[in-house]
Structure 1
Amino acid sequence: MADYPYRLDGELIIVSVKLQSKLNTYNGKFVLDTGSSALIIDHEIAFDLGYSARDGIGFSSVRSVVGKEQGYRLVLESFETLGEKMTAVEVRCHDLKEQGVEGLVGMTFLKQFDWCVHPNRQVISVK
Protein backbone atom coordinates (compact mmCIF):
# COMPACT_ATOMS: atom_id res chain seq x y z
CA MET A 1 0.00 0.00 0.00
CA ALA A 2 1.13 3.52 -0.76
CA ASP A 3 0.29 6.46 1.49
CA TYR A 4 -0.92 9.85 0.22
CA PRO A 5 -1.33 12.89 2.45
CA TYR A 6 -4.55 14.82 2.73
CA ARG A 7 -5.56 17.93 4.61
CA LEU A 8 -8.71 18.72 6.51
CA ASP A 9 -10.86 21.74 5.76
CA GLY A 10 -13.18 21.61 8.74
CA GLU A 11 -14.42 18.02 8.53
CA LEU A 12 -13.81 17.67 4.76
CA ILE A 13 -10.96 15.51 3.42
CA ILE A 14 -9.10 17.45 0.70
CA VAL A 15 -6.88 15.63 -1.82
CA SER A 16 -4.72 16.83 -4.71
CA VAL A 17 -6.01 16.02 -8.19
CA LYS A 18 -4.84 16.38 -11.79
CA LEU A 19 -7.32 16.70 -14.67
CA GLN A 20 -6.25 16.48 -18.31
CA SER A 21 -8.04 17.59 -21.46
CA LYS A 22 -6.69 17.59 -25.01
CA LEU A 23 -5.72 21.24 -24.53
CA ASN A 24 -4.89 21.83 -20.86
CA THR A 25 -4.01 20.39 -17.48
CA TYR A 26 -5.63 21.46 -14.21
CA ASN A 27 -4.11 20.76 -10.80
CA GLY A 28 -6.51 21.30 -7.93
CA LYS A 29 -7.85 20.31 -4.52
CA PHE A 30 -11.04 18.24 -4.40
CA VAL A 31 -13.14 16.87 -1.55
CA LEU A 32 -13.05 13.09 -1.10
CA ASP A 33 -16.78 12.34 -0.84
CA THR A 34 -17.96 8.76 -0.34
CA GLY A 35 -21.53 10.08 -0.41
CA SER A 36 -21.13 11.17 -4.03
CA SER A 37 -21.67 8.54 -6.69
CA ALA A 38 -19.76 10.53 -9.34
CA LEU A 39 -16.76 12.69 -10.05
CA ILE A 40 -18.04 16.25 -10.01
CA ILE A 41 -16.12 19.35 -11.10
CA ASP A 42 -17.01 23.01 -11.07
CA HIS A 43 -18.08 24.24 -14.51
CA GLU A 44 -15.38 26.97 -14.39
CA ILE A 45 -12.72 24.25 -14.21
CA ALA A 46 -14.27 22.57 -17.25
CA PHE A 47 -14.02 25.94 -19.02
CA ASP A 48 -10.34 26.28 -17.97
CA LEU A 49 -9.74 22.85 -19.52
CA GLY A 50 -11.26 24.06 -22.79
CA TYR A 51 -14.74 22.56 -22.43
CA SER A 52 -18.20 24.08 -22.46
CA ALA A 53 -21.73 22.73 -22.14
CA ARG A 54 -21.69 22.24 -25.93
CA ASP A 55 -19.07 19.51 -25.41
CA GLY A 56 -21.37 17.68 -23.00
CA ILE A 57 -22.50 14.12 -23.57
CA GLY A 58 -25.71 14.66 -21.63
CA PHE A 59 -27.35 16.38 -18.72
CA SER A 60 -26.70 15.87 -15.04
CA SER A 61 -28.76 16.62 -11.97
CA VAL A 62 -27.77 16.35 -8.35
CA ARG A 63 -29.82 16.72 -5.21
CA SER A 64 -28.44 18.86 -2.44
CA VAL A 65 -29.74 20.68 0.60
CA VAL A 66 -30.71 23.60 -1.64
CA GLY A 67 -32.69 21.41 -4.04
CA LYS A 68 -32.13 19.80 -7.42
CA GLU A 69 -29.30 21.35 -9.43
CA GLN A 70 -28.83 20.97 -13.18
CA GLY A 71 -25.52 20.53 -14.97
CA TYR A 72 -23.93 18.57 -17.77
CA ARG A 73 -21.63 15.57 -18.25
CA LEU A 74 -18.25 15.52 -20.01
CA VAL A 75 -15.56 12.97 -20.78
CA LEU A 76 -12.08 14.11 -19.70
CA GLU A 77 -8.88 12.71 -21.17
CA SER A 78 -7.78 11.68 -17.67
CA PHE A 79 -8.31 12.17 -13.95
CA GLU A 80 -5.62 11.39 -11.38
CA THR A 81 -5.44 11.38 -7.58
CA LEU A 82 -4.03 9.21 -4.78
CA GLY A 83 -1.52 7.70 -7.23
CA GLU A 84 -4.30 6.30 -9.43
CA LYS A 85 -5.26 7.44 -12.92
CA MET A 86 -8.38 6.88 -15.02
CA THR A 87 -8.54 7.72 -18.72
CA ALA A 88 -11.62 8.70 -20.73
CA VAL A 89 -13.39 9.43 -17.45
CA GLU A 90 -16.89 10.87 -17.22
CA VAL A 91 -17.38 13.83 -14.90
CA ARG A 92 -20.40 15.91 -13.99
CA CYS A 93 -20.13 19.68 -14.19
CA HIS A 94 -21.99 21.77 -11.64
CA ASP A 95 -21.65 25.12 -9.89
CA LEU A 96 -19.62 24.24 -6.79
CA LYS A 97 -17.42 27.25 -6.10
CA GLU A 98 -20.15 29.06 -4.17
CA GLN A 99 -19.74 26.28 -1.59
CA GLY A 100 -15.95 26.78 -1.66
CA VAL A 101 -15.33 23.47 -3.45
CA GLU A 102 -13.52 22.83 -6.75
CA GLY A 103 -14.76 19.29 -7.12
CA LEU A 104 -15.74 16.00 -5.52
CA VAL A 105 -13.95 12.66 -5.81
CA GLY A 106 -16.89 10.26 -5.69
CA MET A 107 -17.37 6.52 -5.80
CA THR A 108 -17.04 6.14 -9.59
CA PHE A 109 -13.34 6.73 -8.97
CA LEU A 110 -12.93 5.36 -5.43
CA LYS A 111 -14.53 1.95 -6.12
CA GLN A 112 -11.70 1.07 -8.52
CA PHE A 113 -9.27 0.15 -5.73
CA ASP A 114 -8.94 -0.55 -2.01
CA TRP A 115 -8.18 2.41 0.20
CA CYS A 116 -8.22 3.40 3.87
CA VAL A 117 -8.25 6.77 5.62
CA HIS A 118 -5.91 7.13 8.63
CA PRO A 119 -7.13 10.26 10.45
CA ASN A 120 -4.39 10.34 13.10
CA ARG A 121 -1.65 10.40 10.44
CA GLN A 122 -3.73 12.34 7.88
CA VAL A 123 -2.89 9.91 5.08
CA ILE A 124 -4.92 7.72 2.75
CA SER A 125 -3.47 4.28 2.01
CA VAL A 126 -4.18 2.94 -1.47
CA LYS A 127 -3.73 -0.64 -2.67
Structure 2
Amino acid sequence: MNKLAKNVLFGLLIASPILYVSACSYISRSRQMAFDAVAEGDTQEAVARKLISGYVIEKAGGKAFLRYASRACTAPCVERWWIENRMAFDTEAWSVEFGNDGRVLRKVEWSSP
Protein backbone atom coordinates (compact mmCIF):
# COMPACT_ATOMS: atom_id res chain seq x y z
CA MET A 1 0.00 0.00 0.00
CA ASN A 2 1.47 3.34 -0.99
CA LYS A 3 1.78 6.32 1.33
CA LEU A 4 -1.17 8.23 -0.21
CA ALA A 5 -3.52 5.27 0.28
CA LYS A 6 -2.37 4.89 3.90
CA ASN A 7 -2.98 8.59 4.56
CA VAL A 8 -6.44 8.44 2.99
CA LEU A 9 -7.28 5.34 5.02
CA PHE A 10 -6.01 6.98 8.21
CA GLY A 11 -8.02 10.13 7.45
CA LEU A 12 -11.19 8.08 6.96
CA LEU A 13 -10.51 6.20 10.17
CA ILE A 14 -10.27 9.48 12.08
CA ALA A 15 -13.14 11.23 10.27
CA SER A 16 -15.69 8.39 10.43
CA PRO A 17 -16.56 8.65 14.15
CA ILE A 18 -16.69 12.44 13.92
CA LEU A 19 -19.03 12.27 10.91
CA TYR A 20 -21.21 9.66 12.63
CA VAL A 21 -21.59 11.68 15.84
CA SER A 22 -22.24 14.85 13.84
CA ALA A 23 -24.93 13.18 11.71
CA CYS A 24 -26.58 11.61 14.76
CA SER A 25 -26.59 14.96 16.58
CA TYR A 26 -27.99 16.77 13.55
CA ILE A 27 -30.83 14.25 13.17
CA SER A 28 -31.60 14.40 16.89
CA ARG A 29 -31.63 18.19 16.99
CA SER A 30 -33.73 18.63 13.84
CA ARG A 31 -36.31 16.04 14.90
CA GLN A 32 -36.47 17.46 18.43
CA MET A 33 -37.11 20.94 17.02
CA ALA A 34 -39.88 19.60 14.76
CA PHE A 35 -41.40 17.70 17.70
CA ASP A 36 -41.23 20.78 19.92
CA ALA A 37 -43.12 22.75 17.25
CA VAL A 38 -46.07 20.34 17.50
CA ALA A 39 -48.75 21.40 19.96
CA GLU A 40 -51.74 19.59 21.41
CA GLY A 41 -54.74 20.41 19.24
CA ASP A 42 -52.71 20.69 16.00
CA THR A 43 -54.27 19.00 12.96
CA GLN A 44 -52.62 16.08 11.19
CA GLU A 45 -51.90 18.34 8.23
CA ALA A 46 -50.13 20.87 10.44
CA VAL A 47 -48.10 18.11 12.12
CA ALA A 48 -47.17 16.58 8.75
CA ARG A 49 -45.80 19.97 7.64
CA LYS A 50 -43.77 20.32 10.83
CA LEU A 51 -42.37 16.79 10.76
CA ILE A 52 -41.66 16.93 7.01
CA SER A 53 -41.28 13.15 6.46
CA GLY A 54 -39.83 9.98 7.84
CA TYR A 55 -42.50 9.05 10.35
CA VAL A 56 -44.10 5.64 10.90
CA ILE A 57 -47.87 5.48 11.33
CA GLU A 58 -49.43 3.14 13.91
CA LYS A 59 -53.21 2.71 13.68
CA ALA A 60 -55.49 1.98 16.63
CA GLY A 61 -56.31 -1.70 16.91
CA GLY A 62 -53.05 -2.63 15.21
CA LYS A 63 -49.82 -3.85 16.68
CA ALA A 64 -47.82 -1.58 18.97
CA PHE A 65 -44.63 -0.13 17.58
CA LEU A 66 -42.70 -2.46 19.87
CA ARG A 67 -39.34 -0.90 19.18
CA TYR A 68 -40.40 1.76 21.72
CA ALA A 69 -43.89 1.25 23.11
CA SER A 70 -45.18 -1.58 25.25
CA ARG A 71 -48.82 -0.87 24.42
CA ALA A 72 -50.59 -0.05 21.21
CA CYS A 73 -52.47 3.11 20.35
CA THR A 74 -55.89 2.68 22.01
CA ALA A 75 -58.93 4.93 22.46
CA PRO A 76 -59.07 7.86 22.50
CA CYS A 77 -55.96 7.53 20.28
CA VAL A 78 -56.87 6.48 16.74
CA GLU A 79 -53.44 7.01 15.17
CA ARG A 80 -49.90 7.44 16.48
CA TRP A 81 -47.05 8.83 14.43
CA TRP A 82 -43.49 7.80 15.32
CA ILE A 83 -40.38 9.80 14.53
CA GLU A 84 -37.07 8.02 15.12
CA ASN A 85 -33.38 8.69 15.25
CA ARG A 86 -32.13 5.32 14.07
CA MET A 87 -28.53 6.48 14.26
CA ALA A 88 -28.71 6.81 18.04
CA PHE A 89 -27.02 4.02 19.98
CA ASP A 90 -29.91 3.86 22.44
CA THR A 91 -33.60 4.59 22.12
CA GLU A 92 -34.43 8.02 20.73
CA ALA A 93 -37.89 8.52 19.32
CA TRP A 94 -40.88 10.82 19.53
CA SER A 95 -44.58 9.99 19.15
CA VAL A 96 -47.64 12.08 18.42
CA GLU A 97 -51.12 10.67 19.08
CA PHE A 98 -54.25 11.81 17.24
CA GLY A 99 -57.92 11.50 18.19
CA ASN A 100 -61.05 10.96 16.07
CA ASP A 101 -61.06 14.61 15.07
CA GLY A 102 -57.54 14.33 13.56
CA ARG A 103 -56.02 16.57 16.21
CA VAL A 104 -53.07 15.96 18.52
CA LEU A 105 -54.10 14.41 21.84
CA ARG A 106 -50.68 13.74 23.28
CA LYS A 107 -47.01 13.77 22.38
CA VAL A 108 -44.24 11.78 24.05
CA GLU A 109 -40.44 11.66 23.92
CA TRP A 110 -38.96 8.18 24.18
CA SER A 111 -35.31 7.93 25.20
CA SER A 112 -32.97 5.64 27.00
CA PRO A 113 -29.95 6.92 28.90
Q: Confirm or deny a common fold (TM above 0.5).
A: no
TM-score (norm 1): 0.28
Larger CA Rg, structure 1 vs 2 = 2
Higher normalized strand content (fraction of residues): 1
